[in-house]
A and B are shown apart, each in its own frame.
Chain A
């Protein structure tokens, strides 16, 4: 996508968000929203390149699968963590795991770190220089079994299958 097209899409998204937040489609309000959106675009720092290097249809499908999987994980782990906390003896086994991220782009790294942290019971404490996630888990033994495979699946959805030696950007 060219730079101009991308800027226009970002501007439109901001305008839509403004309209939804103020809840009115009055022309004067929309004009003010257009100005505010332009101001935000002028002031914000440049965003990293989108990590998806596929056609738009495949990219949208992968994003949808990523979001659906994430929502299911949040609900499942939320219930598990609740059960751990209200259990009378609190059978937690906390610990910090090193998980290889395998991400090739900064945006992929940020999105998968966010996905890990937003899931209850797992929390990224630090990201090493080589892109290793240090993940604090409430149940370190259960997380250790699944962590590497989960991260590989996240990366495949975010950055496309296979490692082509593409570097950031």
Chain B
């Protein structure tokens, strides 16, 4: 049982680290701010979630607390993504790489 849980923890840590690497690679490679937001948001949701799974499997943390923290991350992550996208839009930073843009330009202030 312990060996099984440790195996689960190892897999979760490896996959979580993989997602972090992909997120940073996306932040460097993708062409504009809006695209980068998609990649960066994944560290919070996948990377930290999988590390929390590993810590619960190793008995370093109570499951109830981990579930609450997971809920917080899933609820708050999109809010920051949207706030950053909205800030970029209102500052007039257009989606340079876009193939199609249905969004009207921001109101002048």
Contacts and interface: CB of A to CB of B under 8 A. Distances in A.
Contact of B86 (A90, A94, A120, A125): A125
Chain B interface mostly: helix
12 contacts: A20-B64, A78-B46, A90-B30, A94-B34, A94-B95, A96-B95, A96-B98, A96-B103, A117-B81, A120-B41, A120-B42, A136-B85
A126 interface: yes
Contacts of B25: 85-86
Interface residues of A, number: 34
A86 B22 contact: yes
Interface of B: 19, 22, 25-26, 29-32, 34-35, 37-39, 41-42, 45-46, 62, 64-65, 67-68, 74-75, 77-79, 81-82, 85-86, 89, 95, 97-103
A94 B32 contact: yes
Interface of A: 17, 20-21, 23, 74, 78, 81-82, 85-86, 90, 92-98, 113-114, 117-118, 120-121, 123-126, 134, 136, 138, 140-141, 144
